[in-house]
Structure 1
Amino acid sequence: MKPALQPGRLLATRYRLIDQIGSGGMSVIWRAHDEVLDRVVALKVLAPSLAADARFRDMVREEARAAAQLVHPNVTSVHDYGETVSPDGAITSFVVMELLAGEELEFRLTEGPLPWPQAVEIGAQVADALAAAHRLGIVHRDITTANVMMTQVGAKVLDFGIATRIGAPDDDEDGATFGTPAYVAPERLDGAPAQPATDVYSLGVLLHETLTGRVPYPADTWDELTVALAERPPPSLVGVPGLPATVAEICLRCLSRDPADRPTARQVATVLRDQMLPADPQANTMLAPTVTLPTTRRADAPVPAWVLPTVGPTALQPALAGAVSGAPAGTSVAPGGTVDGAAGQPSGRDAQTATGVLDGGSVPVSGSIRGGGGGYRARHR
């Protein structure tokens, strides 16, 4: 019996499947060609065994809706959601999103912790993405190094598969807790409603891991997490070379056991970005966003076009320049033309990973590919 999906199949009369680039417990990731807009995209396709269940289809649809609201340079863009019915009645449910070229933060950390300036930049970008989500009332619930992709244009937060609304119950109808144990805030083990503070705790774990190479409370199961929280000493960043005290303080505040003691994601982003400015006060003034920088361009010279690429190089679509042409250093421009403070990354064709929505198992394609429904990969009863 042939599999339901094969290369060359057309979904929703629009998306031509090219090849499968990842798989997980709930879904598979396909590279596909959008024949209407002539671009290569990533399709997260719900597993056939789950697509027959309306509850799981609703979950995928809600994921798409949540992520589609977030138009932000540090969040993976969602383009579409679709369902198709084959002649035998089988339903195919899928989310269409940008295809990213880059490297998972988790993979990069296999070589050891990052220099603190790089860790701070990544933390600031993830904090910016979370602040945008929280403004819209969305809690991600699975911020991990596996769900952050390093691309030519900076960090991208992936996988809103278990995202929910602020104040919603933080477990499913069977009492199961969602997420990855080592990154889950202590109060989530007690079934507290979803709150931005739980994402901030996960952000603190991510920042701690990028600075030290390890999570503060190692755990693969909920029982191990409970023991680690009870027995391990409070986390410390002593020994990180050159780390500013302000960065250590904000990271440890994120890891506070009491959610009320944690900063907001916006506050974290602000503190971390302040540490990215040059030490020279005059340079700080020149880089302040309210200061108009002098220009030496002739009055009659054409204004350079600032373009931010949204996809990486593929066989069907050449790579765009990763750096913003003509923009001041450290400036990028979002697809809608909004200037963001995130530092642009140099362009290049040495990307090690191509992916769309990422959350379950991994399949190498010139690097590391993740896909599937990993929001359910760890459950607590």
Structure 2
Amino acid sequence: MSERLGPYELASRLGAGGFGAVHLALDPEGRTVAVKVLHPHVAADGGALARLAREVETMRMVGGPHVAEVLDASLTGERPYLVTRYVQGRPLSAVPVPVPDLRRLAAGLADALLAMHAAGVVHRDLKPANVMMTEGEPVVIDFGIASALDSLSVTASGAVVGTPGYLAPEVLEGRAAGMEADVFSFGATLAYAATGRQPYGQGPASAVAYRVVHHPPDLDDAPEWLAPLLRECLSTDPAARPTAAQICARLGVEPVAHVPLVSPQVAPQVAPAVRPRPANDDLGTREWRPGRERHRRSVEESRARHREKVRRRWLIGSGLFVALLAAAAREPLPEVSLFLLAAYAVGVVADAGVALFSRGLYRRSRLVADALSVAGVAGICFGLAAMFSTFTLALFAGTALVVGIVFLVSA
């Protein structure tokens, strides 16, 4: 049995960090999201939750392809949680380094840094473990949480606010820290990806922190085009570090207009919950309000919708393939052509019969799709036979068969 948390169905646990456990979940529309359930010692800290509640609305202003957007939050009850876009991939800390396509990684991280800072959000815990690699593109996760929950009571409860080696010197020394600290973390993360080594070495946290404050980073083997920028980003003087916009300019990254998907609102002293993003956001969840639950699809309805979508795709794909084969066989082997069309029609009629006696949500549309598919396959078959030669059609059919087999094996 899957567990429910608010309108979300928790499917599996993905991992845990200093502030909470992350679960793969389904939203009310059946889309995958990542739900971060705060640890009990964090949930018990009213001051930390109040600060996080004030920051969430700002965090939701951050958007772009290289950040995992905050979609929803509920900070009341026994199990407060945050919902973000689910990013499928592996963290930078778990992929082989040095990274082959370093320029692509640097550009993506710079874009993410600019998106966060343009919205006024400080990540405070940027490190390889918080950079997900998906098809070669970096996506920054967990931005703003460490900064919002940086309170004495939370820290005393056991949560580590940041990682030595990636925290800026001013953070380690307890001085005021802002966006410049993220630039330092950006430089340390990129240095790790470029050299395959921790920029300040390994060992006890206290020893690593001492090196951050008193020793230069290890940038041996860093590419010549990147090393000067890394040295500036890893300067012990915050004022000497470049801004996110300057980093983008140095790397030749075109600034993207990170337009907020929702208008900013003035959050109360303690925000009980944050509404999800509007329905026109493909990555967000649809707006849900108490009393309007009848307008939401259940998870079962969403699954039925997904099954119907998959069934229609197979119906169309198999129909096109049968029409191609039947057209290729029509002139040399008319009996085979007729047999293929008849077999497809029988299969579709059987599917329509099942739909007729079922009580599914898509029974009527399923019957219509079945009827149209039979007529469409016959029409396409005769049309192809009239337009192309038998040899051409046979070549097309063979190619389609090979592509289909490759697709099935890879899937």
Distance 1:203 1:122 in 2: 11
Residue in structure 2 matched with residue 18 of structure 1 by the alignment:
11
- Report how far residue 161 of structure 1 moved: 5.1
In 1, are the aligned partners of 2:58 and 2:120 still within 8 Å (CA)?
A: no
Q: CA deviation at 1:78?
A: 1.4
Correspondences of 1:351-366 after superposition (within 5 Å):
none
- Residue-by-residue CA offset, 1:298-346 (whole Å, 9 max, x unaligned): xxxxxxxxxx9859xxx9679xxxxxxxxxxxxxxxxxxxxxxxxxxxx
Q: Contact 1:78/1:98 (CA < 8 Å) preserved in 2? A: yes
Answering whether residue 138 of structure 2 is matched by residue 155 of structure 1, we say yes
Spell out, residue by residue over 1:145-175, the C-alpha distance to the aligned partner (whole angstroms, 9 max, x if none).
000001137211111254448xxx9764699
Report the equivalent of 1:205: 188
Contact 2:170-2:176 within 8 A present in 1 as well: no
Letter in 2 for 1:41: V
User: Any conservation in 2 of the 1:182–1:220 contact (CA below 8 Å)?
Assistant: no
CA 1:196–1:56: 2 relative to 1, 3 Å: closer
Q: Distance in 2 between matches of 1:248 and 1:148?
A: 21
Q: How far, CA to CA, are the matches of 1:97 and 1:78 in structure 2?
A: 4
Residues 163, 252 of structure 1: alpha-carbon distance in 2 compared, 3 angstrom cutoff? same
Aligned length: 265
More relative contact order, 1 or 2 (CA 8 Å, 6+ apart):
1
Q: Secondary structure at the match of 2:113?
A: helix
Following superposition, the deviation at residue 107 of structure 1 comes to: 0.3
SS of the residue aligned with 2:81? strand
- TM-score normalised by length of structure 2: 0.56
Distance apart, 1:53 and its partner CA: 3.6
Secondary structure of residue in 1 paired with 2:225: helix
Query: Are 2:244 and 1:265 equivalent residues in the alignment?
Result: yes
Equivalent of 2:70, from 60, 78, 97? Answer: 78
2:87 aligned residue (75, 100, 122): 100
Indicate if the aligned counterparts of 1:79 and 1:97 stay in contact, CA closer than 8 A. Answer: yes
Whether the 8 Å contact between 1:253 and 1:262 is mirrored in structure 2 is yes
Q: Which residue of 2 aligns with 1:363?
A: none
1:248 and 2:242 correspond: no
CA distance 1:16–1:126, change in 2 (3 Å): same
The 5 A counterparts of 1:187-206 are 187-206=170-189
Q: Give the match's secondary structure for 1:182.
A: coil
**Which residue type is aligned with residue 73 of structure 2?**
Y
- Post-superposition offset of 1:223: 2.2
Alpha carbons 2:24, 2:33 under 8 Å: kept: yes
SS at match of 2:132: strand
Using a 3 Å threshold, how does the CA distance of structure 1 residues 186 and 170 change in structure 2: closer, same or farther?
A: farther
1:95 Cα deviation from its structure 2 partner: 1.0
Question: Counterpart of 2:80 in 1: which secondary structure?
Answer: strand
Displacement after TM superposition at 1:75 (Å): 0.8
User: Which of 38, 43, 54 is the equivalent residue of 2:46?
Assistant: 54
Q: How is 1:1-381 mapped onto 2 (pairs within 5 angstroms)?
A: 7-12=1-6, 14-35=7-28, 37-58=29-50, 60-62=52-54, 64-83=56-75, 85=77, 91-108=78-95, 111-115=96-100, 118-152=101-135, 154-160=137-143, 162-164=145-147, 172=152, 178-219=161-202, 221-229=204-212, 232=215, 234-235=216-217, 237-240=219-222, 243=223, 245-273=224-252
Task: Say which SS state the counterpart of residue 227 (structure 1) adopts.
Answer: helix
Instruction: Find the aligned partners of 1:32 and 1:170 in 2 and give their Cα distance.
Output: 27
Unaligned 5+ runs, structure 1: 1-6, 86-90, 277-288, 290-307, 319-347, 350-381
After superposition, the Cα gap between the structure-2 partners of 1:230 and 1:160, relative to the gap in structure 1 and judged at 3 Å, is closer
Following superposition, the deviation at residue 264 of structure 1 comes to 1.0
- The AA in structure 2 aligned to 1:235 is P
Give the match for residue 352 of structure 2: none
Give the secondary structure class of the aligned counterpart of 2:138.
strand
Q: Structure 1, residues 231-283: CA drift from partner, whole Å, max 9, x if none?
A: 64x3354444xx3x332211111111211211112211222236x9xxxxxxx
- Residue 124 and residue 55 in structure 1: after superposition, are their counterparts in 2 closer, same or farther (change >3 A)? same
Three-state SS of the structure 2 residue aligned to 1:181 is: coil
Give, as a single letter, the amino acid of the residue that structure 1 aligns with 2:2.
Answer: G
Describe the shift of the 1:214–1:16 C-alpha distance in structure 2 as closer, same or farther (beyond 3 A): same
Q: Is the 8 A contact 1:63 1:160 kept in 2?
A: no
How many angstroms apart in 1 are the aligned matches of 2:200 and 2:136?
31
**Higher strand fraction: Structure 1 or Structure 2?**
1
Q: What secondary structure, in the 3-state scheme, does the structure 2 residue paired with 1:19 have?
A: strand
RMSD of equivalent CA atoms: 3.7
In 1, Cα distance between equivalents of 2:25 and 2:154? 35
State the partner residue of 2:390: none
Q: Verify the 8 A CA contact 1:29 1:42 in the aligned structure 2.
A: yes
Contact 2:60/2:71 (<8 A) preserved = yes
CA distance in 2, matches of 1:191, 1:211: 29
Q: How far apart are the structure 1 equivalents of 2:194 and 2:60?
A: 31
| CA contact 1:171–1:178 (8 Å) conserved in 2 | no
Aligned in 2, Cα 1:221/1:178: closer, same or farther, shift over 3 Å?
Answer: farther
